[in-house]
Amino acid sequence: MPELTRNSSKSISRPVRFVVSVLAPVVVAVLIYQLDSFDPAPIPGLTRGSVFVPKRNSRMLRGSEKIGVGQLLGPEDIAYDPDSRVFYTGCNDGWVKRVAVEDSVVENWVNTGGRPLGIALGRNNDVIVADSVKGLLKISSDGAIELLTDEAEGVKFKLTDHVDIADDGVIYFSDASCKYGAKDFPFELYEGRPHGRLLSYDPSTKQTTVLVRDLYFANGVAVSPDQNFVVFCETLMRRCKKYYIKGERNGSVDIFIDNLPGIPDNLHYDGEGHYWIALVSEISYPWYIAQKYPFIRKVMAIMEKYVWQLPLPIKKNGGSIAVDLEGKPIAHYYDPQLKLTSTVKINDHLYCGSIFDLYIIRLNLTQYPAVADA
């Protein structure tokens, strides 16, 4: 009889333990979901469709070469100096490095002590850096660092991202988010609210001005060759807009290109009638669904906060799209193995940087062009 009681107790305890082991985590998860204050928002105007591009190179890694392997830790952007024939790039270890175009020799130039992202060549051989930690910096030719600005309208920059300079010396740059910094920027994607800004800094007056606010992850910036407007990327919305800085439309905003075939990052004008927009990756179906339903992004944020760091919700198939001065697509270069953050055309080559790589990719566009589909 005692043996029967013990067996009965065991048989009863098994389902109890099973129920507890299954239900307890569910109950805890539901409580965390209900109590956590993270509040993602619906993202307007979502679509999976993309603009038609007449020419493509879908295997751009074929024929490409790697520069500075192991010496460039996440080279995010590229700025080329044709006089010295070197380009500058900012790395994850804080270094702004110089790379010779002729022999690909890499030089540790200046360490900002932050995370240099966007880079542009200024006047008097200065280099202007959008540092996601420090703010907007000027580095002189002898390596001296000067903070130009790190706030606007009393709001500190949290993720100073990209930069370009107009002919009159005014600096245009983006703050991807005024809420989340570089280390927690995935929460900017999960929350789905417009915390980004396009700004300008006038060196003559030292005035910082907010030009456009409420942007969905403001990113790449490029002044038009006629100096009439500034093109800038909204990463989360897969589009670029233009902000007019001259003429009758001064201060107004238009769509430059929408429904890009990937998630845009930096963009650069090549001096030959084309903008090159770097695409981190194509839009994956799981991420499209997560964007569509805020509760999924809340679950992702809770997982990121309490359980483990999630991989970024992106695929590969990154690359670059070339568009003309009106935003019309010309050519799309991409590869299943790529995630790019910057693409710059130097002579016949396309130089590609990425925060995900330890090198820069160079592709000869003459030998490996984009072609129209047969």
Nearest to 358 by CA among 59, 67, 64: 67
Radius of gyration of the chain (CA): 24
* pLDDT single digits (tens) 86-115: 999 999 999 999 999 999 999 999 999 999
pTM: 0.91
pLDDT digits (tens, 9 = 90+) for 149-203: 999 999 999 999 999 999 999 999 999 999 999 889 899 999 999 999 999 999 9
Question: What is the mean predicted confidence (pLDDT) over 42-65?
Answer: 93
CB 232 within 8 A of CB 174: yes
Residue 198: predicted pLDDT:
98
